[in-house]
Amino acid sequence: MDNKTVLITGFTGFVSTYFLEYLDNKKEQVQIVGITRKELTQLPIYKHLTIHVEGADLNDRLKIQDILAYYRPDYILHLASDSSVAYSWKFPINSFQNNTNVFLNLLEGVRILNLPCRVLSVGSSEQYGIVQPQYLPLTEDAPLNPISPYAAARVSQELLSKVYVQGYGLDIVMTRSFNHIGPRQKEQFVISSFAKQMILLKKGRIEQLKTGDLSIVRDFLDVRDVVNAYYLLLTKGKKGMVYNICRGEGHTLDEILTMMGEILNISSIQKSKIIFSRPNDNPIIIGSNQKIQAEVAWKPQITLKNSLKDILQYWDERV
C-alpha cells in the first residue's frame, strides 16, 4: 500500500484504530481518508500516515460521491456498521439501513465514478445462523441462514457485493469475520464486559458477575490478527471471493471466564445469570480458516490467553 490512498468508513471505530496502527508499524507511506459522523478534536500521531478526516453520513449518497471523486482511493475498507446483534433486535429498521443502504451508497459512488479501486466488504459469522455440530467448523461453502436483523443485513451486503462484482465488474473482496476481541473494545461486547467485571471482582468492588448463557460457544480472534487479515485481503485477496476470518477453534463463555480467573489468580467466581432479551441466538459458531491461509498466507499470531491478558490489563488501568 506504499504511496496509496485508503478510504476507511467507520473511521473512529474499534477495528479502524488498530488498522491505522498496523499500517503505521509497517512504515508504509499511506494517505488515509477517514469518514466519520463523529466530531474529532484530535488524532493520535502517526509517523508514516497522512490523515484526512471527512465528516459525513454514509446515508448521504451525494456527499459520499463527492468524497470519492475528490480523493479517488486505491482501496476502500468498509468498517462502518451497527455491529450489535442485540441492537438489531431492538431497532431492526435502523440496523438494516445502517448496514445495507450505506454500503450500497458507497458502491454506487465507485460505480458511477468508474474508480479502479478495491473494496473490502466486511461481513459476519452471524450470517451462518444456527448450524448442527456435524457441520463445524464452518467453511465458506456452508449455507447462510441469518436469524437476526443484523445477520440478514450482512447477508444482503454480501449479495450486493456479488451483484456489483458480476454485473458491474467492481473489484470487491468479502469477509465473514468471526467474533474479534481486544483492548479498547466497548463493554457492551461480552468479552470486554467480562474482563471489566473480573477486574472489579479482583479489586473487591463487586461480589459477583452478571452473565448471560455461559454455554454459548464462539470462535474468538484478536483484533490485531483481524486487521492483518484485512490488509492481506485488500492487497492479495481474489476478486469476488469470500473469506472466513477466524481462529478455527471454539470456546464456551464459561471457559473464557475460567481462563480470566486463572490469569488473575481468582479461584472462585460467583455468577448471577441475567437473561438478555434476544428472540434467537446461535448456540455454537466455529469457523474454518483454511481458505484464507491457503490463498493469502494468513494465520492467527496471538493466542487467546494473550488476548485475554491484554484486555484484562486494559481494564485494570481504567477501573
CA distances from 43 to 11, 57, 71 (A): 11, 20, 20
CA distance 181 to 225: 10
Q: What is the DSSP letter of 138?
A: B
Residues above pLDDT 90, as percent of the chain:
86
In angstroms, the Cα distances linking 123 to 72, 134, 222 are 24, 23, 16
| CA distance to 10, 100, 169, per residue, from 95 (Å) | 15, 8, 28
Residue 70 in this model has a pLDDT that exceeds 80: yes
Q: Whole-prediction pTM value?
A: 0.96
φ, ψ of residue 75 to 5 degrees: the values are -135, 145
**Residue 143, pLDDT score:** 94
Strand-pair partners of 133? none
- Contact between 197 and 155 (Cβ < 8 Å): no
Model confidence pLDDT, tens digit, residues 261-314 = 999 999 888 887 776 556 677 899 999 999 999 999 999 999 999 999 999 999
Instruction: Please check the confidence at residue 231 and state whether its pLDDT lies above 80.
Output: yes
**pLDDT (mean) for 92-109:** 94
Is residue 243 predicted with pLDDT exceeding 80?
A: yes
Helix (H, G, I), strand (E, B) or coil at 5: strand
Cβ neighbors of 205 (< 8 A, separation 6 or more) are 319
* β-sheet with 242-245: strand ranges across: 49-55, 30-36, 5-9, 75-78, 118-124, 171-177, 242-245
The grid coordinates of residue 66 equal: 463527492
Strand 217-218 relative to strand 251-252: parallel, antiparallel, unpaired?
antiparallel
pLDDT at 200: 97
Residue 6 has pLDDT above 90, yes or no: yes
Task: Give the containing element (helix H, strand E) for 194.
Answer: helix 190-202
Name the average pLDDT for the chain: 94
pLDDT at 73 over 90: yes
